[in-house]
Amino acid sequence: MLLVPCPWCGPRAEIEFRYGGQAGIAYPKDPDGLTDAEWVEYLFLRDNPKGPWRERWVHTAGCRRWFDVTRDTLTNEFLG
Amino acid sequence: MSGVTDDHVPQHPDRLWRHPEPKPAYDVVIIGGGGHGLAAAYYLAKIHGISNVAVVERGWLAGGNIARNTAIIRSNYLWDESAAIYEHALKLWETLPEELDYDLLFSQRGVMNLAHNLGDVREGMRRVHANRLNGIDAEWLAPDDVKRLCPIVDTSPDVRYPVLGATYQPRGGIAKHDHVAWGYARAADRLGVDLVEGAEVTAIDIAAGRVTGIQTSRGPIRAGNVAIVAAGHASIVAAMAGLRLPLQSHPLQALVSELLEPIHPTVVMSNAVHVYVSQAHKGELVLGAGIDSYNGYGQRGAFHIIEHQMAAAVELFPVFARAHVLRTWGGIVDVSPDASPIVSKTAVSGLYLDCGWGTGGFKATPASGWVLAHTIANDEPHALNRAYSLERFETGALIDEHGAAAVAH
């Protein structure tokens, strides 16, 4: 089980969290103006790296706040 | 129903296939020496007469998800597109041991999907009817029928996950996963396919919008066509061709008990509590879990997933409380947004994808190879995989098995 570093509560067991996938995916500024290909990009395409990436967690059983963190997807090491 | 004792584990010769040096060029190079890639190579040679084929594998043959799955075979999917391809697979399974001249320990002992609440019951009945309309064997079982077919299931009403009924596919079952890969590998090898192990792909060569070959740790290989059949690593390999895929890779765990006397005559799955159980021919109970929530390539998962799964399994099968876990492991599954696979042409001419099988790829192995071989040979999808294109994410023609039958494959 991962020890997830909540920035407000400190390192806590993974079962207290829900996963939010890739960080930094902003809702389209002008959704009416998006092409189908741009909707694919927003809805379905995410990075899927083997190594460090930026991801979101929410501390559902703790402070209930969302945060971003960098984790290595191969080693599971949290890198800050 | 064939019992768990009436088969045997055959002995193997030391070598089932050659270990050739890679040739400078092939008509088709398949990246990924797992079940699907080996099946595709076999059908390319067998059906389409294309035997100048290499299967290039980073590690050793059949060491990824084909060696890590829970070996369950069924075709009782809700949606027409899914039912068609998985039923084609099941029909291929039924003659595959004979065709490959290899004992796959294919045992049609039936697959049961339990319903624990009214929603499950309605979904299950709907799926039984949908299956029958698609010509797939499906029955609805009352709790007494469940008890009769699998006496070790606790069907008493006062448990945490009461059994309110089950769907049942008598033709479903299990096979020995390693034998499937080895059978395809040996048959493909005999037809002239080169199985190149220990060759990690480092680049995909593209010129004027057409694939021309690959770079590997064992040197460059020119290729007329290249197929990416890399399961959990599909995104990594596709990125070498500049493709972004709608896939996320997750750890998926499974475990086995120590060897036990035959106690479990069928396959029992429960989507609601994320557990699926069968008993292998040797006697170990084989249990699969749900995926770990986070993206990962570590081929291991978290213990709380196992704990949750075992709690549900012991509740459903009280007799399991006395069994011991012998081994747990993880594989990396490539999950698509609609939990359905991608078997497709790409924007790069001559480059094909067979990925996104997520948690349910084993049962599809013969059909996946079959339709990929067709797609490569004709540069056009087969009727069975036309719907499984990359374009569906843009057109919106999704095949939403997340919401249907695919919580646990």
> Residues B349-368: pLDDT tens digits?
999 999 999 999 999 999 99
Q: How confident is the model at residue B406 (pLDDT cuts 50, 70, 90)?
A: very low
CA distances from B260 to B3, B5, B75, B153, B278 (A): 14, 11, 28, 17, 12
The residues, any chain, with a CB within 8 Å of residue B42's CB and separated by 6 or more, are B184, B187, B188, B191, B193, B369, B373
Q: Is the pLDDT of residue B13 over 90?
A: no
Which of B373, B374, B397, B371 has its CA nearest to residue B55?
B373
Question: For chain B, which residues lie within 8 Å of any Cβ of chain A, measuring from their own Cβ?
Answer: 233, 235-236, 244-249, 293-298, 302-304, 337, 393-395
Query: What pLDDT shows up at residue B101?
Result: 96
Tell me which chain A residues have a C-beta less than 8 angstroms from the C-beta of B393: 40, 43-44
Q: Are B7 and B205 within 8 A, CB to CB?
A: no
pLDDT in tens, A32-75: 999 999 999 999 999 999 999 999 999 999 999 999 999 999 99
| Four-CA torsion B111, B85, B355, B64, nearest 10 degrees | 40
ipTM of the complex, rounded to two decimals? 0.96
- The answer to whether the beta carbons of residues B338 and B400 sit under 8 Å apart is yes
Report chain A residues whose CB lies below 8 A from the CB of B394.
36-37, 39-40
Tell me: pLDDT of B328 over 80: yes
Query: pLDDT tens for residues B48-72?
Result: 999 999 999 999 999 999 999 999 9
Task: Give pLDDT, residue B12.
Answer: 66
A70 touching chain B per CB within 8 A: no
pLDDT digits (tens, 9 = 90+) for B232-266: 999 999 999 999 999 999 999 999 999 999 999 99
* E strand or H helix that includes residue A6: strand A3-6
CA–CA distance, B299 with B227 (Å, rounded to integer): 23
Q: Looking at the partner chain, which of B236, B294, B394 has a beta carbon nearest the beta carbon of A40? A: B394
Residues B25-40: what's their mean pLDDT?
98
Q: For residue B11, what pLDDT is reported?
A: 67
**Binary contact (B248, A44; C-beta < 8 A):** no
Q: How confident is the model at residue B14 (pLDDT cuts 50, 70, 90)?
A: confident
Q: Sign of torsion, CA B364 B326 B331 B115?
A: positive
Read off the pLDDT of each residue in B226-233 and give the average, rounded to a whole number.
97
- Write out pLDDT tens, residues B116-134: 999 999 999 999 999 999 9
B365: three-class secondary structure by DSSP: helix
Note the pLDDT of residue B51.
98
pLDDT reported for residue B63: 95
* pLDDT of the residue at B159: 87
Closest CA to B22 of B197, B187, B224: B197
pLDDT for the residue numbered B403: 55
CB contact (8 A) between residue A48 and residue B245: yes
**B299 contacts on A by Cβ (under 8 Å):** none
Instruction: Report pLDDT digits (tens) over B69-95.
Output: 999 999 999 999 999 999 999 999 999
* Chain B partners within 8 Å of A50 (Cβ): 233, 236, 249, 297
The pLDDT of residue B179 is above 80: yes
- Residue-level pLDDT at B10: 63
pLDDT confidence of residue B409: 47
Average pLDDT over residues B332-345: 96
Contact call for B248 and A76, based on CB within 8 A: no
